[in-house]
Amino acid sequence: MSGFTVGLAIIGGLVLAALVAWNAWSTRRNTPRQPDLPTTVTATGPMDGPSGPIEPSFDEEPLSSLPLPEKKPGLDGLIDVLAAIVVDAPVSGEAALAALPPTRRAGSKPFAIEGRNELAQEWETPRPGQRYGAFQAGVQMANRNGALNDIEYSEFVMKAQAFADAINGAPEFPEMRDEVARARELDQFASSHDAQLSFTLRARNAAWSPGYVNQHAARQGFVAGVIPGRMVLPATAPGVSAVLGLSFSTAAALAEDPSHSAIRELTLSLDVPQVPRSEQPFVRMRDAAIALAAAMDGLITDDDGRVIPVEALDVIGADLEHLYDTLDARDLSAGSPQARRLFS
């Protein structure tokens, strides 16, 4: 065999080896990472003989259950237009419930009726078996759909008047022009002080499977949400909504074989006005993002794919402290019933 032929054979072998190596690298890169599986170990029992196999659990804390929804907050003059309804005689809870309108909204704004319980002397949603000596109707002045407008105010008046007529009551409505102006001012404040933050965690190299994401998120305290592909970080206090959200492709979570679903990014989100300041939500969001990026070989980026350095996260946290102070000064502290209704 000539030297030329030998040279060609060597070159061909090198090319083939390179192709095999590239294919192996490409396959590895495109194969989603899988969660770590527990190994089965055999533990030696007492002197009378060995015990059966033991499967150790993961080292994360047990998954806690989702928090129960808190009691719906009552009407509040800070964010609601209120109309007093005077009655000549106490009204039963059954009669009040029968007179309630079929829908609890005036346009895009929540609408409610409350009665003053004669026994407890507190305002509440009418209940069977109770008697009420006065009522009030309310409509929320603003939410993330905007400020209460003239049409919504008129619908509020119609609903409240119909309820009052049904229980032989007399409503007293505030001036529409004043209330609509108050609603616009509240909406302007809310629009200027609303904050919904999100970080995107992107895979550097190999994609992630849903199980891989779930396992690493669980180690940071996240639990499965109601929607496939969504997890939440529960609050430390009972009855408080989740602190953070973590979401990835719903289609990947619902795939027939999720282990073959390739996830290249997930989103960490924080709805600032919805979570009490005492929960330290941004600190937990920052720490979770850093820990997940390190454990899953990912990058913390914004929505446009730009990498966010750790120093920038600290600046965001400082800005949020000023926002919390402003909300506190307006009696709309983050996580309060009033703030959660206004920023919804």
As a whole number of angstroms, the distance between CA 277 and CA 321 comes to: 9
Q: Domain residue spans in the chain? A: 80-191, 194-342
**Yes or no: domain 80-191 corresponds to CATH 3.30.2310.20:** no
pLDDT digits (tens, 9 = 90+) for 104-120: 999 999 999 999 999 99
CB atoms under 10 Å from CB of 320, counted, come to 19
As a whole number of angstroms, the distance between CA 198 and CA 219 comes to: 20
As a whole number of angstroms, the distance between CA 285 and CA 241 comes to: 15
Percent of the chain whose pLDDT exceeds 90:
73
For the cut 80, the answer to whether the pLDDT of residue 19 exceeds it is no
**Do 80-191 and 194-342 agree at the fold level?**
yes
Q: What is the pLDDT of residue 30?
A: 60
pLDDT band at 38 (very low <50, low <70, confident <90, very high): low
As a whole number of angstroms, the distance between CA 289 and CA 277 comes to: 19
For the cut 50, the answer to whether the pLDDT of residue 49 exceeds it is no
Q: CATH number for the 194-342 domain, one of 3.30.1400.10, 3.30.565.10, 1.10.645.10, 3.30.70.120?
A: 3.30.1400.10
Here the tokens at position 96 are 């009040």
Q: Dihedrals φ, ψ of 191, to 5°?
A: -65, -35
pLDDT digits (tens, 9 = 90+) for 315-331: 999 999 999 999 999 99
Q: Are 73 and 336 in contact (CB under 8 A)?
A: no
For the cut 90, the answer to whether the pLDDT of residue 182 exceeds it is yes
Burial bucket for residue 310 (CB in 10 Å: 0-12, 13-18, 19+): exposed
Q: Report pTM.
A: 0.78
Mean pLDDT, residues 54-66: 38
pLDDT band at 39 (very low <50, low <70, confident <90, very high): very low
Quickly list DSSP for 27-94: HHHHSPB-PPPPPPEE---STT----EE-PPPSSPPPPPPPPPPPPP---TTTEEEEEEEEEEEEEHH
Q: Are 263 and 306 in contact (CB under 8 A)?
A: no
- Amino acid at position 213, single letter: V
Q: What is the pLDDT of residue 28?
A: 54
Q: What is the pLDDT of residue 239?
A: 77
